[in-house]
Amino acid sequence: MDRIRILGGVPLEGSIPISGAKNAALPLMIASLLTDETLTLDNVPRLADVQKLFHILANHGVDTSFQGKRSGQDLLAGQTVAMTANNIVDTTAPYDLVSTMRASFWVIGPLVARMGEARVSLPGGCAIGTRPVDFFIDGLKALGAEIDIDRGYVVANARAGLIGNRVRFPRVSVGATHTILMAATLARGETVIENAAREPEIVDLAECLIAMGAKIEGHGTSTILVEGVPRLRGARHQVLPDRIETGTYALAAAMAGGDVTLEGASAAHLERPLELMQHAGAEISVTNRGIRVRRNGHGIYAVDAETAPYPGFPTDLQAQFMALMTAGKGTSHVTETIFENRFMHVQELVRLGANISLNGQTATIEGVKALKGAPVMATDLRASVSLVIAGLAAEGETEVSRIYHLDRGFERLEQKLSRCGAQIERVSA
User: For the segment 26-75, what is each residue's pLDDT rounded down to a tens digit?
Assistant: 999 999 999 999 999 999 999 999 999 999 999 999 999 998 655 445 56
pLDDT at position 123 is: 80
User: Could you tell me the pTM of the whole model?
Assistant: 0.95
Numbered residues of the known binding site: 22-23, 102, 316, 338
Residues making up the chain, counted from first to last: 429
How does the average pLDDT of the chain come out, rounded? 93
Residues 6+ apart with CB under 8 A from 111: 33, 60, 88, 91, 93, 117, 118, 120, 156
Q: How many CA atoms lie within 13 A of 333 on its CB side?
A: 7
What residues are annotated to the active site? 126
User: Would you say 333 and 363 are in contact if contact means Cβ atoms under 8 Å apart?
Assistant: yes
Superfamily of domain 22-238: Enolpyruvate transferase domain (3.65.10.10)
- If one compares 276 and 428, the residue with the highest pLDDT of the two is 276
124 falls in which pLDDT band (50, 70, 90)?
low
Lowest mean pLDDT among 119-123, 196-200, 323-327: 119-123
Instruction: Tell me where in the chain the CATH 3.65.10.10 domain(s) lie.
Output: 3-18+241-427, 22-238
SS3 label, residue 241:
strand
Q: DSSP character for 4?
A: E
Percent of residues, the chain, with pLDDT higher than 90: 85
Could you tell me which residues are annotated as the binding site for UDP-N-acetyl-alpha-D-glucosamine? 102, 316, 338
**Residue 323 pLDDT class (50, 70, 90 cuts):** very high
Q: What is the pLDDT of residue 160?
A: 96
Q: With CA atoms as reference, report the closest residue to 258 among 19, 8, 76, 18.
A: 8
pLDDT > 70 in the chain, percent: 96
Q: Please state, in angstroms and rounded to a whole number, the distance separating the CA atoms of residues 283 and 18.
A: 19
Mean pLDDT of 82-92: 97
What pLDDT is attached to residue 383?
A: 81
| Residue 331 clears pLDDT 90, i.e. is over it | yes
* pLDDT of 133 above 90: no
The residues with which 40 forms a beta bridge, in sequence order, are: 82, 236
Which positions make up the binding site for phosphoenolpyruvate? 22-23
CA nearest 426: which of 395, 400, 408?
Answer: 400
Q: 3-18+241-427 architecture in CATH?
A: Alpha-beta prism (3.65)
Predicted pLDDT of residue 73: 53
Mean pLDDT within 148-165: 95
Residue 411 has pLDDT above 70, yes or no: yes
* Better-predicted residue by pLDDT, 381 or 227: 227
pLDDT tens for 242-291 read 999 999 999 999 999 999 999 999 999 999 999 999 999 999 999 999 99
